[in-house]
Amino acid sequence: MVVFVLAAAGYGKTTALRRRHLDPETVWLSGLPTLPLPQASAIVIDDLPPLSAAQATSLLQAAVLQPVTMASRHPLPVSTARLRGQGMFSQLGPADLALDATAGPDLLVSDYGLRDPDLCDRVIEATAGWPALVRLAGEALADGDPLLPEQGSPLWTYLTDEVLGPLGPETLQLLGEMAGLAPISIKLADALGHQRAAEIVPLLSATGLLVDDRLVPVIAHLLRRNERSGAAALLAGHWYEEHGPPVSAVKAFALAGRPDQCGRLLDSHGEALLAAGHAGVIAEVTTAIQPADRSRRQQLLLGDALRTSGSVIKAAHAYATVADLEPVWDCGVAWRMGLIHYLRGDSHAALKAFTRAEETEQNTTDLALLQSWQACAHLQLGETATALETARRACRTASSSGDDIALATAYVSLALCHSISGESTDSDELYEQALSIAEAHGHVVLRARILTSRTYQLLNEARYAEALEAARQTTRCAITAGHSNLQSIALCNEGDALLMLGRYDEATRQYERAQALCRRMGSRRSAAAHLGLGEIYRRRGWSEQARSAYEAAATLAEEGGLNQVRVCALAGLSRVLVADHPQAATQTAEQATRLASDRVVVTALLAQAWVALHLGDNATAGALASDAAKVARAERDPASLAESLEIRAAAETDPTRSRAALREAQAIWSSAGAVVDAARVLNKLGHLPGAETDDRLGALLAAETLAAAGVPVTGDGLRQAENAVLIRAFGRFEVCLHGQVVPATQWQSRKARDLLRILVARRGRPVPRGELCEMLWPDDDQAKTGHRLSVLLSIVKGVLDPDRALPADHYLVADQASIGLDATRLRIDVEEFLIDVGHGRRLRERGATAEVYRLLSATVQSYRADVFEDEPYSEWSTALREEARAAHVSALRMLAQASRKLGRVSAAISHLMRLLSIDPYDEAGHRALIDTLVTGGQHGEAQRAQARYREAMRAIGVKPA
């Protein structure tokens, strides 16, 4: 079986081979091998040179007899169809090696500290995910250099020497003439007179210089225009105009310096190009036309393109060029000027602009669009009834005008109104009708808007998994449409879905991406992203960060008239303030209720209820929860209903009624896929007075889910004081009561200590009794050991609670089948260590370098020795020991990275040396140490570190980089 890896230099072929072949028995060869090949379990042939047909045939005949992987920058000059048909040949190419939209930004964040999601996306777009180019671009940006390479820069030199240097003159000529064109095809190249087009174009695609039928943008930027480029672009423009697509013709004429031809095509295809998602091209080309030469239609089209692509301020200037010359606005100018304010989050100003439209009795397309956007602005301000009537009027106007796109736009506005007022059936029908129109006309902008609205509806119905998929589909559609505003909304919706699914780190990334887009647009719509981050911070117990995010969201929402966001932000803020500022919390919750429209009044009522509950006013909390439940049922809002049940349970004095309310809330959350919320309720169930053993065991499992999400785990869902019991698992196992180590004499039996150690090692998971007996007495009959286990259980309870002041199951939860340790009621050093490392990782992902350094510097000091060092050979101790050791290595790596960024080179070296003392075969650690030593000017130490690196890699059969 042969695997052939084909790609240009820097696509990571060798790295991919190393990851695929970790077996030290693998034979590694380089260049053209001598035949016959050696016999081995696997053979890797790296850096295969260009082959003749005879050489390729001979090599393939020898290679198919055993597992062989080859890597080359050059395609095989023979057909492999027969071998593919027999399942004996497969090929990996640039698409398999490139960094995708997740891996690429992750690399840029972790290795180069680039926190701006929008910038990371632009790097991946410019490099097409080409790994070496991504790294070089990351280095340039980290040093303050521009993304696109300048002559003499490392990226420019790499492309010139490694990528373009080996290409022949005919290939370079073709690339030079077609660098700014897309799609690039054999037929186009033939039309431009390239005789070897049928050979060159497929080769460029196969090796990754052409991606999606266009040249990788950084390479296109580098290639200098030659003397034929203008003529070639003009020829290409006419060829595209005849064969399509029109957008390519517009771009080609722009490259040829022919604004007259561009204007001609924009007049005939402008609206269609905008609908198809080519706003950026239209804006660029129209801007190149002299303002005095632009027609009124072209000027408005320029504004439409700038608005769609996210340049809202520039769009306002473009529209104003027309509007300022016309004392009376027609509907087309009025809806455009108003929409600018709406997109910037100022619905009051939007309505004021809409009203400047001249009165007309004709049902025109522009009048329908004006009424549709008026409805949206009223809805944004919480004026639901007015919005609904305006949207209905827009539908009538659009239907009379005969314009399908205007009708679909009106349907979306009306669907939004129905969705807000709880009429989901009518809303669904309208969305479907609008979507069918958008798809029939290929209108990707309208399709993205419809999908955005549909996602919002799914979120309100607590259909979070469906909402996540719809949001991601919307994001892709918005990117295709080039619509930054819709993309930012889709990212916030995606964040909301991830938040409710308990995937907080992923949600944070989407909110941050939305913030980056909004900053570029100068839009107040980042209020929604701030609100989402506030929710995550509050759930994780980060009260100061939550307060900051909620306050920012409330301020931005107030400025922009975003009533729903403002109410939700005030509601969240009141819940954060209540612990330290109860009076301010009460006032803030009351303000949220006063401002709330029908759709978000339930959020405000729930906030008031939580505040009352925290202040000990259970009667008021219960009454408010009942009011919220009534609204939630009417609005078909399962999430708010579940939360009202949680409050009702907390306000109840009867444990039976509390238990019933919590079980119903837990069922709602579980059905919605809200795993963290469901776990929170399970945790509360397990800590109710008189909780059954099953509920206690369920609480132990729920605690794992909460801890994994970074949510504080306590019996009542609130922070509680430190427990009296501390268990030390690092090094020698010890139990401390009130700061004093429990003496050996108090244990009565070594087996009792072993029992507690095993339960600690299982991290709170219940362990079957039979399994415990097998571990404690492996050679005895389990029929005889059951009683012994019960005795040990009693001893451990006595050690943890010597005065017998607590219920018997306070620390240890046991039934006839299993025993578990309730880790929420005591402190365990290794658990705190793992939680701190996880927090450090999240801080690093947010770019909080100084905070990472402070936290992890203290955290690694607690790693005194390996977990259960006094039980090195017990199988039950291995999993936790290795998890803690891996977390220790990860913490040291993060500390080293943070130290370098903070300019603390000596500290970075110290952390890396400690890392390598734990894992001497950590390749990334070796390379980081070498780089850090060089940075610190310790060249002799760097040479010695290089020697240690090579020796370590040879020991495990890995070729040093």
One-character DSSP codes across 235-282: HHHHHHHHHS-HHHHHHHHHHTT-HHHHHHHHHHHHHHHHHTT-HHHH
Radius of gyration of the chain (CA): 33
Amino acid 851: pLDDT:
79
Q: Find tokens 């009027």 and name the residue.
A: 393
CA distances from 891 to 162, 808, 886, 896 (A): 36, 38, 9, 9
10-residue averages of pLDDT along the chain (961 residues):
94 89 87 92 93 95 91 94 92 94 85 82 93 94 90 93 93 90 95 94 96 94 68 93 94 91 93 88 91 93 88 90 94 95 85 91 91 93 91 96 94 88 78 92 88 88 94 89 84 96 93 85 80 95 93 90 90 94 95 86 95 92 95 90 95 89 96 95 84 73 83 52 75 88 87 92 90 88 81 91 84 89 86 85 81 84 88 86 93 92 90 91 91 88 90 86 69
∠ at Cα 881 (827, 906), nearest 5°? 90
pLDDT confidence of residue 660:
94
Please name the helix (run of DSSP H) or strand (run of DSSP E) that holds residue 516, with its range, or none: helix 504-521
Task: List the structure tokens of 40.
Answer: 């081995």
Residue written as token pair 């794992």:
704
Q: DSSP assignment of 130-193, as one string?
A: -HHHHHHHHHHHHTT--SSPPTTSHHHHHIIIIIITTS-HHHHHHHHHHTT-SS--HHHHHHTT
Report the pLDDT value the prediction gives residue 238, as an integer from 0 to 100: 95
Q: What is the pTM of this model?
A: 0.64
Domain ranges of the chain: 2-97, 101-166, 725-825, 831-955
Provide φ and ψ at 902, rounded to 5°: -90, 5
Residue whose token pair is 């073709």: 174
Q: Which fold has domain 725-825?
A: Arc Repressor Mutant, subunit A (1.10.10)
Alpha helices (H) along 309-443: 312-323, 331-343, 347-354, 365-380, 384-401, 404-420, 424-441
Return the CATH number of the domain spanning residue range 831-955: 1.25.40.10
pLDDT of residue 717: 35
At residue 721, the pLDDT reads: 33
Which two tokens mark 848? 């909080």
825: DSSP letter? G
CA distance 824 to 679: 13
pLDDT at residue 225, rounded to an integer: 53
> What pLDDT is attached to residue 716?
42
